[in-house]
Structure 1
Amino acid sequence: MQNLIKKILVFLLIVPLLSGCWDRLEIEDRAVVLAIGVDEAKPGDEKETSNATQILNLNPRTNKRLLRITVQIAVPGRIPLGTGSEAGSPSGEKPVWVLSSVGYTIEDCLMNLQQQLADRLFYGHLRVIVLSEAVAKKGIQNENDFFRRQPQVRRTVWMVVSKGEAADIMHAMPQLERVPTLYLLATLDHAREMGKLPNNFLGVFFSQSSAKGQEGSVPYVQLKKESNIELSGLAYFRDDKMVGTSTALQIGHYMSIKEINPGGYSVMHELPSGTRVIFKATHRTSRITTTIQNGKVHVNINCQMEGDLEEKSDKHFSITNESLKKLEVKIERDAKQGFEKFIQQTQMDGSDIFGFGEYVRATQPGYWNKQVKTKEEWQRQYVDINIDVNMFVKIRRIGTKSQSRNLEVTERGSEEVD
């Protein structure tokens, strides 16, 4: 009897495994979305909508904002599988299909787009989300809500803000990559690897925006004439609205304060003699401390940078220990001014992208629980807090040409002593 019961239990455990892929969906039957661009629709574009989600006509007074979605859909059989000429699609055939749709929300746009497609939209391979600057400035609460709720969207997706229309980036055809989305993805990933961009994926942006003492930021890009894409800076937000942008060099300032390595930006400095030198930061360390002085938050930033002397414009400028020390002092002074200017810019916009508020929450809990409590209150206080920046710069390498010359001088000196 016991053996019979055991056999029945084993049979019952095996039965669920026999179901196999009963709900499978072949890849050829999916409309694989690689990139999504979000723009504001133009007057008259409401005629394009199929109203696939509306039972009754919406009140035009409460639905003034109309969106246009542009998507890149992978064409099965045309996606390149290697570097050889045999791999991927034949010449002349585009590997992606660019489509657009109009609606009042992201889901409304996509459902209207679904009415035009035979295959089901699939977002599991979505890699890039591009928001136009006009959309970002008016607020992306709807966009955040949709991408948070969509289980197929990965948190490692890049979300960027474009200076112009997002649709222009969706239609761009770069020469270095047969799949446009992969070129934009490579631009962002390689910038991160070279120390020119923080690791601000979609999930990181969600975490920053949800924090009480920090605001979110995403890459700010611009499409150039030859379909190449320039990383122009960071677009930073206050709540769900974009309130400002940084320059490309200020990305390096942000990464230094946040102690994000490696360093990748080179900065030109002009000496009193007129000589221009290029200093490239290679490693950064930062320490942020907070105190309460006279009832106000005081933030102190100690930032140390190590780097290389990449170039000098004047061949008569001699590199000695004394001149290097003077150059380090000059770089420290210029960097301090640049950091303070960028921080003051974010204070004017009320956007604490550095997370100073999170340091206050962690190190000054009594003050936070009594005087701040909410994100809205910290946004108000951030405008007036005192922030001091202290810079320490060390030049580690000066190049092989200068090293060889110094070596010759040293050898000559040793011969004379002998």
Structure 2
Amino acid sequence: MSQKKKIIIMFLAALLLYLHAGCWSRREINELAFVMALGIDSLDGGKLYKVSVQTANTKTFAKEGSGSTEEKSFAVYTATGATPAEAVRNLSQQLPRRLLLSHCRLVLISENLAKSGVEPVLDFLQRNREVRETVWVLVAKGQADVLLEQEFDMEDIPADTLSRLIKLGEETSRGYAATKRDFLYKLTTARIDPVAASVEVLPDVAREGKPGVQLGGLAVFRADKLAGWLDAKETRGFLWVTGEAAAGSIVLDSPLVPGKVTFEFLRVQSRVTPQVRDGRVVILLDVETQGDLGDLAEPWVSRGQDNSGGGMEELIKEVERGVQETIEDEILAALHRVQREYKADIFGFGDAIHRRLPNEWRKIEERWDEIYPSLEIHIKVSANLRSSGQTCHYRHR
């Protein structure tokens, strides 16, 4: 089923819901503006909010099959206000349709707004009953409205492009996207700092005259303010620690075989255990993964050895060791950036101490911001390839 047909079905389903509610609440499709994405920027030093809505153009769907049309499949409308809610209400001055936010897939927050604080935005999203709990919250590198205006070559509606990239990133353990529910929970819990997916337009990577888009890395918050960014390596380090890594691959160099070796991990488990050692709280981090060889030169011949069972066993041990070292390196990269530089507890170590060692947490809660940057973390990584496995121990201070 094509993407356009799916959207048409979605529109018809929404219409049936309105009809089912009774004649008094009946809404025709041409009376509604289906919002697919919401963008929020700050203006005048944070005194004003600019809200942009990306709406689906129902006219283009009606014309499908009746010949090609150059009319865009989406439209973007913007308005300003002293609050996000007022800006949304002001959209009615230029958009003669009722905004339907229940189909909104993602909310884009501009970089400048994120740096000044997103609490007013999240408060608006929480109070608006139409915005679903599962809507994704993203931070745009630059202006949110500019990104919503961009046409990408992958899908007719930019919100669909971003949605597909989000899902693909999570399926391959290369990205993480926070929902409104997840972001709000962490924002209102003093023991966990929130994160959000970062997105940016790539004007130099264009196809068919349309710019590329990159959804990778994370925006790190300390409380409700943007503290900085994580790159792809650091992002996967975050996924290892939090247990959000699902499936993916690690490419290794091996002295035993020509070319590269790919380890495809299929299962990941992560455990964060706080303990008291020598009168101080420390964190024990255990990460376990299992997987298979994704590719290997065939016929396989070990360098300097024949293709025997002993040679394969040596290769298995070599791959497991390489996977463990790679995971450790990615975790350490994330810890160094977040713990030392941003001083943001996106891993939930404080929350783990609060739950597992409540008496100790009461002793250090008031000084947690001072303790966290130098918190001692012991890392144990285990990798298992087929039937063999090894465990290496590391220490991060």
- TM-score, normalised by the number of residues in structure 2: 0.79
**Distance in 1 of aligned mates of 2:161 and 2:271:** 36
Could you say which residue in structure 2 is the equivalent of 1:335?
A: 327
State yes or no: 1:222 paired with 2:222. no
8 Å CA contact 2:288, 2:383 repeated in 1: yes
- Equivalent-residue separation in structure 2 for 1:258 and 1:242 (angstroms): 20
Whole-Å separation in 1 of the counterparts to 2:272 and 2:263: 24
| 271 and 129 in structure 1: CA distance in 2 versus 1, 3 angstrom threshold | farther
Equivalent position of 1:86 in the other structure: 65
The Cα of 1:159 is off from its aligned counterpart by 1.1
- Equivalent in 91, 106, 109 of residue 87 of structure 2: 109
- What is the match of residue 194 of structure 1? 172
1:151-166 superposed matches below 5 A: 151-166=129-144
In the TM superposition, residue 271 of structure 1 has moved relative to its aligned partner by: 5.0
Contact 2:237 2:333 in 1 (8 A): no
Q: CA deviation at 1:218?
A: 1.1
Match of residue 231 from structure 1? 215
Q: Secondary structure at the match of 2:386?
A: strand
What does residue 150 of structure 2 align with? 172
Q: 1:192 to 1:329 in 2, by over 3 A?
A: closer
Matched AA of 1:335: I
Q: Which runs of 5+ in 1 are unaligned?
A: 1-18, 44-62, 398-418
Partner of 1:283: 267
Choose from 105, 109, 120 the match for 1:131. Answer: 109
CA displacement at 1:265 relative to structure 2? 4.2
Tell me the CA shift for residue 167 of structure 1: 2.2
State the one-letter code of the partner of 1:97: A
Structure with higher strand content? 2
Question: Paired residue for 2:25?
Answer: 23
Amino acid at match of 2:327: A
Query: What is the percentage of aligned positions where both structures have the same residue?
Result: 26
Query: Is this contact kept in 1: 2:162–2:215, CA < 8 A?
Result: no
**Cα offset, 1:311, TM superposition:** 4.6
Deviations 1:336-392 (A, max 9, x none): 2321221122112121111111211111011112331x6xx4333221211111111
After superposition, give the CA deviation of every residue in 1:237-285 in whole Å (9 maximum; x if it has no partner). Answer: 1110111221223332222222235222434446599964333322111
Write the distance in 2 (CA, Å) between the matches of 1:305 and 1:200: 23
CA contact (8 A) 1:79 1:179 kept: no
2:385 aligned to which of 395, 402, 408: 395
Displacement after TM superposition at 1:109 (Å): 2.1
Cα pair distance change 1:190/1:298, threshold 3 Å: same
- In the alignment, the residues of structure 2 paired with residue 38 and residue 267 of structure 1 have an alpha-carbon distance, to the nearest angstrom, of 39
Query: What is the alpha-carbon distance in structure 2 between the residues aligned to residue 28 and residue 379 of structure 1?
Result: 53
Q: Specify the alignment match of 2:6 in structure 1.
A: none
1:65 aligns with 2:47: yes
Provide the rounded CA distance (Å) in 1 between the counterparts of 2:292 and 2:202.
31
**2:357 alignment partner in structure 1:** 364
Distance 1:268 1:325, change over 3 A: closer
Distance 2:116 2:178 in 1: 21
Structure 2 segments unaligned to the other structure (5+ residues) = 1-20, 304-310, 388-397
Distance of aligned partners of 1:90 and 1:109 in 2 relative to their CA distance in 1, 3 Å threshold: farther
Deviation at 1:146, TM superposition (A): 0.8
Q: In structure 1, what is the Cα distance between the partners aligned to 2:196 and 2:27?
A: 34
1:131/1:190 CA distance change after superposition, 3 Å: same
Partner deviation per Cα, 1:7-63 (whole Å, 9 max, x = no partner): xxxxxxxxxxxx94323333321222211122343x7xxxxxxxxxxxxxxxxxxx7
Structure with greater Cα Rg: 1
Asked whether the equivalents of residues 269 and 331 of structure 1 are also in contact (C-alpha less than 8 Å), the reply is: no
Paired residue secondary structure (2:326):
helix
Amino acid at match of 1:395: L
Aligned residue among 186, 189, 201 for 1:211: 189
Letter in 2 for 1:68: K
Most deviating of 236-245 and 218-227? 218-227
Instruction: Tell me the TM-score normalized by structure 1.
Output: 0.76
Evaluate the alpha carbon distance shift between residue 269 and residue 382 of structure 1 in structure 2; reply closer, same or farther with a 3 A threshold.
farther
Contact map agreement 1:129 1:157 (CA 8 A) in 2: yes
The answer on whether the counterparts of 1:31 and 1:119 sit within 8 Å (CA) in structure 2 is: yes
Q: Decide which moves more: 149-158 or 124-133.
A: 124-133
1:208 touches 1:214 (CA, 8 Å); kept in 2?
yes
RMSD (CA atoms) = 3.0
How many residue pairs get aligned? The number is 354
2:294 alignment counterpart: 310
Task: Say whether the 8 Å CA contact 1:72–1:97 is kept in structure 2.
Answer: yes
8 Å contact 1:208–1:215 — kept in the other structure?
A: yes
Look up the SS of the partner of 2:138 in the other structure: strand
> Does the 8 Å contact 1:101/1:113 carry over to 2?
yes
The 1:346/1:313 distance shift into structure 2, 3 A limit, reads farther
